[in-house]
Chains A and B, each alone.
Chain A
């Protein structure tokens, strides 16, 4: 069965610093991979997705993610974090019938 692991439950970075959120997956086939962001009390917003092709994908709000098949990873990065990026971030892998399996989430806090 597929699974998604986000090893970091909480991450705190200073505003302006770079950010990397880790995501590892386990899936028997070529995965569809997603990163979503959730602000408190809100639904999820799609940041970016990987289906195939270039392993470095660009998303909204200045985020990017790199698919590394050898490491079964799809880490999310941003070169300079803004205070408004504070939120919960979810990595997900797409499986049968458009279904998603989510990781446990990483809560990002931004220090001024």
Chain B
């Protein structure tokens, strides 16, 4: 139980294009979803928190116009990297918490983004 999926698992895009990453909670309702970025051999950096039906709350230093987050339903959140540049290349991980287990975040498998 408590399965979170991400799609795609990896994506390569050209500089200047936009990429959308989906995060779904498969067997529970996710009232809150989180988006993280992870650089090689480093810990996770929280980018933003989103609650279903509300605007996302971005961490300091994260450009909200570049990283668009939509939490449209209790099982789906999307992260769109707009006008991607090579420095946006990273491993993006989402997590979800909700009615299954208070205060526990369940993580997706991550999405490797490479911008050429």
Contact = CB atoms under 8 A, between A and B. Distances in A.
Q: Do A and B bind each other?
A: yes
A43 B4 contact: yes
Interface of B: 4, 6, 32, 34, 41-44, 46, 49, 91, 93, 95, 97, 102-110, 112
Interface of A: 32, 34, 36, 41-46, 49, 51, 90, 94, 97-100, 102-105, 107
B103 A44 contact: no
Contacts of B6: 43
Q: Is the interface of A mostly helix, strand, loop or mixed?
A: strand
A63 B103 CA distance: 20
B44 A97 contact: no
Given A41-B110, A42-B109, A44-B93, A102 B43 contact: yes
B107 A97 contact: no
Contacts of B102: 98
Nearest to A45: B107
A34 B95 CA distance: 14
